[in-house]
Amino acid sequence: MANEDFYIGANDEHGVNPPTPGKRTPVLPGLNRQIYENEFNRGAKNKFIEACMRQDFSVFDVKSELQDISISQRVRRINMQNLTLLVTFAYNAFGDSLNSASGLEVYYSPLNPQASESQALANDLYDRLIEGTAQIGRGVKTIDVGVLSSVNCPSALIEAGFMTNLREAMLMINPLFQTEVGEEACHGVCDYLGVSYIPRNDLSVYPLLRQGDRGNFVYLLQFILSEQYGYNLSIDGIFGANTLSAVRDFQAENALTVDGLVGQNTWKALLTLPPYPLLREGSRGAYVQLLQSLLESNLIPTSGIDGIFGNNTLSAVRTFQQEKGLVVDGIVGNNTWTALTDF
């Protein structure tokens, strides 16, 4: 089979707008707020979708909505699609207060019509997740929930950590951890399907795109611009006038050549791949957004993840540098990036 013949379902548990009751961390120090479970689930699911598009898989987003959707409604959606498999992203909890429970586990249901295939999928996901993340392994387990037992395809559910563990609660809003979980899940899917995994950081696999192009990498481009950077685009795989306008806006915001061509420099910025640039007050763009997200995941608020390095971000950088024993100059160079990306 060609990769495009595989049809992968991606599901994120619960909702964030409005948030599903009870599915959140305790109030975290520094941030002085709770993190909703779906902040991780949706982020990791989106990174999984990106990774699957890069493999040239066809992808079905089970729950594109920000609000929660009932399990029965999800099951109906899934069973209408004739999916090759389904992967669900979730986060665990133990009680209501911060404690030491930790680790990652993957579930399948022995009641699934393809139980042995579901178990094999869960094992492949678990092996890659434990190899590729720093999470403690808690094993592959069974549970009877609808998105595992009542769907007509092999299905597995990832519980990537515990939101009642302070370190793992912080990871929930770390975009690099979300990416790591999504990528390793895709790698496990590739193992299960017997196809080679194409890594995220290999810029040679990303084609030069221009107006008029079509296909999975145009879907990927539109998905990233829409989900990561907030551009209002139809994700249809057609590089039309609206996509061209969004690409040009993104290039201008990130100090790139504004030509509407999506080459390696634009792909690198879209994906915020290293090496990371020197940032200081006045900087703008995708890497500033990444910086702000990483500061928040270190419990240092920036007063908004807007991609603009203003006074609040400067203050947050200085606080982080002081906490890590770095030179407190408010400039984000190699040493500060290294500390930010060490999790």
- The CATH number of the domain holding residue 20 is 3.40.630.40
Kindly provide the b/e burial profile for residues 84-108, where b requires at least 16 CB atoms within 10 angstroms of the residue's own CB. bbbbbbbbbbeeeebeebbbbbbbb
Residues 248 and 129 in one domain: no
Give the model's confidence band at 259: pLDDT under 50 very low, under 70 low, under 90 confident, else very high.
Answer: very high
8: left (phi over 0), alpha (psi -120 to 50) or beta: beta
Residues 171 and 228 in one domain: no
Query: Is 271 part of a structural domain of the chain?
Result: no
Report pLDDT digits (tens) over 3-21.
Answer: 989 999 999 999 999 999 9
Query: Is 219 part of a structural domain of the chain?
Result: yes
Query: Is 274 part of a structural domain of the chain?
Result: no
Is the model's pTM score more than 0.95?
Answer: yes
Please state, in angstroms and rounded to a whole number, the distance separating the CA atoms of residues 175 and 200.
14
Residues 248 and 101 in one domain: no
- Which of residues 264, 294, 312 is at a domain's end? 264
Nearest Cα to Cα of residue 17 among 62, 69, 61? 69
Report pLDDT digits (tens) over 205-223.
Answer: 999 999 999 999 999 999 9
DSSP secondary structure letters along 159-196: EEEETTSHHHHHHTT-HHHHHHHHHHHHHHHHHHHT--
- The CATH number of the domain holding residue 300 is 1.10.101.10
Report pLDDT digits (tens) over 68-110.
Answer: 999 999 999 999 999 999 999 999 999 999 999 999 999 999 9
Percent of the chain with pLDDT over 70: 100
Give the model's confidence band at 183: pLDDT under 50 very low, under 70 low, under 90 confident, else very high.
Answer: very high
Number of domains observed in the structure of the chain? 3
Q: Where are the beta strands (DSSP E) in the chain?
A: 7-12, 58-61, 85-92, 104-108, 137-142, 155-162
Give the model's confidence band at 277: pLDDT under 50 very low, under 70 low, under 90 confident, else very high.
Answer: very high
Residues 130 and 73 in one domain: yes
Report pLDDT digits (tens) over 117-146.
Answer: 999 999 999 999 999 999 999 999 999 999
Q: What is the pLDDT of residue 171?
A: 98
Cβ atoms of 321 and 308 closer than 8 Å:
no
| pLDDT value at 1 more than 80 | no
Domain range for 317: 286-340
Residues 178 and 241 in one domain: no
Cβ atoms of 62 and 77 closer than 8 Å:
yes
Q: How far is CA 273 from the centre of its chain?
A: 14
Residues 299 and 334 in one domain: yes
Question: How is residue 36 written in tokens?
Answer: 């909703």
Report pLDDT digits (tens) over 300-341.
Answer: 999 899 999 999 999 999 999 999 999 999 999 999 999 999
Query: Is 155 part of a structural domain of the chain?
Result: yes
Residues 63 and 176 in one domain: yes
Residues 237 and 147 in one domain: no
Report pLDDT digits (tens) over 18-75.
Answer: 999 999 999 999 999 999 999 999 999 999 999 999 999 999 999 999 999 999 999 9
Query: Is 279 part of a structural domain of the chain?
Result: no
Please provide residue 107's backbone torsions phi and psi, each rounded to the nearest 5 degrees.
-115, 150
